[in-house]
Structure 1
Amino acid sequence: MATRRIVSDGKDILERNDLSSAPAGSSEKSNISPAVPTSVIVKLLGFTFAMISLPIGTYFLSVNTIFGGNSTFAGASAAVIANVVLIAYVVVAMREDQSEQMATEQKQKKAE
């Protein structure tokens, strides 16, 4: 059985589209800004660090000093701290989202 070879001009579809969409003298700048703002990444990293270090630190600090070796109560306190960090993250994220919505509404009012 013979197979048929497809002979192309050496350029794939993407290269042809790139050449045809941009004019020869075009000096259009590309947008290389990150999709996620830096402040959001910093907040996420901060809460990630808090979610790791605070419950573990709470457990080890409270197991002998506060609860006298009772690891059940120390584990429960670590779980409470983990939930506090999680709730704080949700509250911060919701406030940030609300501030973005209010800024968008103010821009729309000024445009009118």
Structure 2
Amino acid sequence: MATRRIISTEKGALDIDSSGFTKPAEGKSNISPAVPAHVIVKLLGFTLAMIVCPLGTYFLSLNTLFKGNSTWAGASAALMANVVLIGYVVVAFNEDQTDAIEAAEKESKKGK
């Protein structure tokens, strides 16, 4: 007859209450959001810009700049989409560098 070994991470009979649910982990739970709010706001802003800028550029330039030539108006709209995309990448890189600098400053303050 084989015996059963209880692994330390496995919930035993004493860890389960009468309703069948396991007890919550000891200590404080982390209820902070997975993604900070300012990141979501930037993403939504660039999403709106990715829709509005190319379409606005196309329709504004179609009759004003290019006098009905839809090829050039479409090319300018594609250019604006790339400008918005590059802007998002630049903002994301700068935000990443800012987070790294803030973390380094916190570490240097702890050491003092």
Fold match by TM threshold 0.5:
yes
Q: How many residues align?
A: 95
The answer for the alignment partner of 1:46 in structure 2 is 45
When normalised by structure 1's length, the TM-score is 0.76
The answer for the alignment partner of 1:10 in structure 2 is none
> Which one-letter code corresponds to 1:93 in the other structure?
A
What is the Cα deviation at residue 33 of structure 1?
A: 1.7
Unaligned runs of 5+ in 2: 1-10
1:18 is aligned, of 13, 18, 22, to 22
Unaligned runs of 5+ in 1: 1-12, 23-27
The answer for the alignment partner of 2:8 in structure 1 is none
Structure 1 segments (4+ residues) deviating >3 Å: none
The answer for the alignment partner of 2:4 in structure 1 is none
Mapped partners of 2:82, 2:24: distance in 1? 55
What is the Cα deviation at residue 19 of structure 1?
A: 2.2
- Cα deviations by residue, 1:46-74 (Å, 9 ceiling, x for unpaired): 00000011101100111111100000000
What is the Cα deviation at residue 111 of structure 1?
A: 1.1
Mapped partners of 2:24, 2:79: distance in 1? 60
Question: 2:88 aligned with 1:89, yes or no?
Answer: yes
> Which one-letter code corresponds to 2:71 in the other structure?
T
Mapped partners of 2:24, 2:66: distance in 1? 72
When normalised by structure 2's length, the TM-score is 0.76
Q: What is the RMSD computed on CA atoms of the aligned residues?
A: 2.1
- Cα deviations by residue, 1:10-63 (Å, 9 ceiling, x for unpaired): xxx6x83732855xxxxx543222110000000000000000111011001111
The answer for the alignment partner of 2:35 in structure 1 is 36
The answer for the alignment partner of 2:107 in structure 1 is 108
